[in-house]
Amino acid sequence: MVSLDIEKARTGRERAVLPDRGPSDIPVDLVGLDRSQIEGHLVQAGLGPKEARMRSRQLWNWIHVNGVTDFSAMTNVSKAGRQLFADRFVIGRPERVSEQVSSDGTRKWLFRFSDAGQPNMPPVDVETVYIPEPGRGTLCVSSQVGCTLTCSFCHTGTQRLVRNLTSGEIVAQLLMARQLLGDFPGGIRPTDGLVPSGDTRAITNIVMMGMGEPLYNYDNVKRAMLIFADGDGLSVSRRRITLSTSGVVDRIAPIGRETGVMLAISLHAVRNDLRNELVPINRKWPLEELLEACRTYPGVSNARRITFEYVMLKGINDSDADARKLVRLLANIPAKINLIPFNPWPGSPYECSDWDRIEKFSDIVNRAGYASPVRTPRGRDIAAACGQLKSESERLSFRQRKALETE
Ligand code: SAH
Ligand code: SF4
């Protein structure tokens, strides 16, 4: 057992009794680990249980509250302790490959995660989007690179799944965004966008609405969301974290029970025949089963409504009859409706409904008692809007796979 208190740190004795690390040991990235995992690594490193708990609390705070990446900045940890950390751990950040700022202040970053410490985890490029609004800022986080599903109106759906992101890569998107937006203590806000100033955090809300289907990467997404919500760390309220799913029905109740986050459903059609076409997962879990899962979502109430996303596709799903059916379908579910003007992408087979059609549709929905905001497309000029995300990782992963094959 090793103690790292200051007295012993001065003698340096504790270093002598640390178990040796083999040359093949890769430093463990602490980002994306939960508290008990960090504690476990500290125990493995030779610390007693009590001290491991205390040190893991310190690490937790430095990583998530202060956003440090360098152990030498951890001023309340003895020198020997910092050395122990630096020998065994890293606090990873992706490379920022690019940053685009839209004329409306939306930012899109391309982050490169070079490796997840495992040979079967090729490097990937991931898009993360920041959407500032007066008094709040939303980070749109990716959960996968590509998607196994093939929703016909979605650009991400044309990129086959490269791989799931690890919980570290999901959490790192928020850490990196906070760092770039000056959201950690002592940070400096960029002045070129609409980033909220003053005491408000730049990022107040998180939506799991980037690349991928979060419920097909269940464990990593769950762990990452619990880390987002941890009150001693990143401290994003569960009511300000929303997970969007195309309808992986058997995972909806578990994610609600285990995380308590808000739910959004990519509905987009009110008839099974059309939804089968637009959102093919509907063939496995049709509307009736999806809506039943929503009705019984843990914690759902008028104060915690489910958001239904509905993309407006010209001549496809935008008739008055569709609007009336939508209202009927959601009658006994505490719901919010988000009408999303379709965002075109190169080669997309649809057009966005005309503005007056969207208004008529939204009038019907409003008259039924829903405040149904038409979501203003954000960041369209930098292809950062809903459904426009797609990275080049396909080619990277192919090369990587080739390299692995020839090894
Ligand atoms: N895979 C999850 C999370 C992605 S969220 C899901 O499908 O829910 C992205 C949201 O944008 C989803 O509601 C998706 O249906 C919607 N979307 C996809 N392509 C779009 C496009 N071209 N225009 C507008 N919205 C789109
Ligand atoms: Fe995947 Fe969601 Fe796009 Fe469908 S809408 S292809 S589930 S990312």
Residue pLDDT, tens place only, 178-225: 999 999 998 988 887 677 776 778 999 999 999 999 999 999 999 999
Q: Where residue 270 sits, what CATH number does that domain have?
A: 3.20.20.70
Q: Please indicate, yes or no, whether residues 148 and 75 belong to a single structural domain of this protein.
A: no
* Residue where a domain stops, chosen among 90, 114, 147: 90
386 is catalytic: yes
Mean pLDDT of 368-378: 77
Q: Please indicate, yes or no, whether residues 269 and 374 belong to a single structural domain of this protein.
A: yes
The number of distinct structural domains making up the chain is 2
Q: Please indicate, yes or no, whether residues 119 and 189 belong to a single structural domain of this protein.
A: yes
Ligand nearest to the CA of 215: 1
Contact 132, 105 (CB under 8 A): yes
Residues contacting 187, CB < 8 A, separation 6+: 67, 178, 179, 181
Tokens, residue 289: 């089963």
Asked if residue 372 has its Cβ within 6 Å of ligand 1, the reply is: no
Identify the burial level of 250 via C-beta atoms within 10 angstroms of its C-beta, where 0-12 means exposed, 13-18 middle and 19 or more buried. exposed
Q: Please indicate, yes or no, whether residues 306 and 330 belong to a single structural domain of this protein.
A: yes
Whether residue 157 is predicted with pLDDT greater than 90 in this model: the reply is: no
Whether residue 82 is predicted with pLDDT greater than 60 in this model: the reply is: yes
Tokens, residue 257: 């029970």
Out of 8-22, 112-126, 191-205, pick the least confident: 8-22
Q: Please indicate, yes or no, whether residues 216 and 339 belong to a single structural domain of this protein.
A: yes
Identify the burial level of 376 via C-beta atoms within 10 angstroms of its C-beta, where 0-12 means exposed, 13-18 middle and 19 or more buried. exposed
Mean pLDDT of 89-112: 93
Q: How far is the CA of 277 from the centre of ligand 2 (A)?
A: 13
Range of the domain at 69: 4-90
For residue 406, the surrounding DSSP H or E stretch is helix 393-406
Q: Please indicate, yes or no, whether residues 9 and 116 belong to a single structural domain of this protein.
A: no
Return the bridge partners of 243, or none: 208, 263
What confidence score (pLDDT) does residue 114 get? 84
Contact 395, 160 (CB under 8 A): no
Q: What is the pLDDT of residues 244-292, one digit of tens each?
A: 999 999 999 999 999 999 999 999 999 999 999 999 999 999 999 999 9
Q: How far is the CA of 389 from the centre of ligand 2 (A)?
A: 10
Mean pLDDT of 12-39: 67
pLDDT bucket at 384, cuts 50 / 70 / 90: low
The residue that leads in pLDDT, 99 or 381, is: 99
Whether residue 40 is predicted with pLDDT greater than 80 in this model: the reply is: yes
Q: How far is the CA of 386 from the centre of ligand 1 (A)?
A: 5
What confidence score (pLDDT) does residue 115 get? 67
Mean pLDDT of the chain: 87
Query: Which residue's C-alpha comes closest to atom 18 of ligand 1?
Result: 387
Residue with tokens 């893991």: 56
- Dihedral, CA of residue 101, residue 106, residue 112 and residue 113, to nearest 10: 150
What confidence score (pLDDT) does residue 401 get? 38
Q: Please indicate, yes or no, whether residues 167 and 306 belong to a single structural domain of this protein.
A: yes
What percentage of the chain has pLDDT greater than the value 70?
85
Asked if residue 157 has its Cβ within 6 Å of ligand 2, the reply is: yes
Whether residue 3 is predicted with pLDDT greater than 70 in this model: the reply is: no
284: left (phi over 0), alpha (psi -120 to 50) or beta: alpha
Query: Which residue's C-alpha comes closest to atom 13 of ligand 1?
Result: 266
Mean pLDDT of 218-246: 98
The residue that leads in pLDDT, 112 or 2, is: 112
Whether residue 7 is predicted with pLDDT greater than 50 in this model: the reply is: no
For residue 355, the surrounding DSSP H or E stretch is helix 355-367
What confidence score (pLDDT) does residue 385 get? 63
Contact 327, 368 (CB under 8 A): yes
- Report how far residue 99's alpha carbon sits from residue 110's, in angstroms, rounded to the nearest whole number: 7
Q: Please indicate, yes or no, whether residues 10 and 126 belong to a single structural domain of this protein.
A: no
Residues contacting 332, CB < 8 A, separation 6+: 295
What confidence score (pLDDT) does residue 143 get? 97
What confidence score (pLDDT) does residue 375 get? 73
Alpha helices in 29-121 (DSSP H): 35-44, 49-64, 79-88
Tally of CB atoms within 10 A around 404? 11
Q: Please indicate, yes or no, whether residues 166 and 55 belong to a single structural domain of this protein.
A: no
For residue 397, the surrounding DSSP H or E stretch is helix 393-406
Return the bridge partners of 137, or none: 132
Q: Which of 127, 169, 309, 394 is catalytic?
A: 127
Q: Please indicate, yes or no, whether residues 248 and 303 belong to a single structural domain of this protein.
A: yes
* Residue where a domain stops, chosen among 41, 73, 90: 90
Contact 14, 42 (CB under 8 A): no
Q: Please indicate, yes or no, whether residues 299 and 351 belong to a single structural domain of this protein.
A: yes
Query: Which residue's C-alpha comes closest to atom 8 of ligand 2?
Result: 212
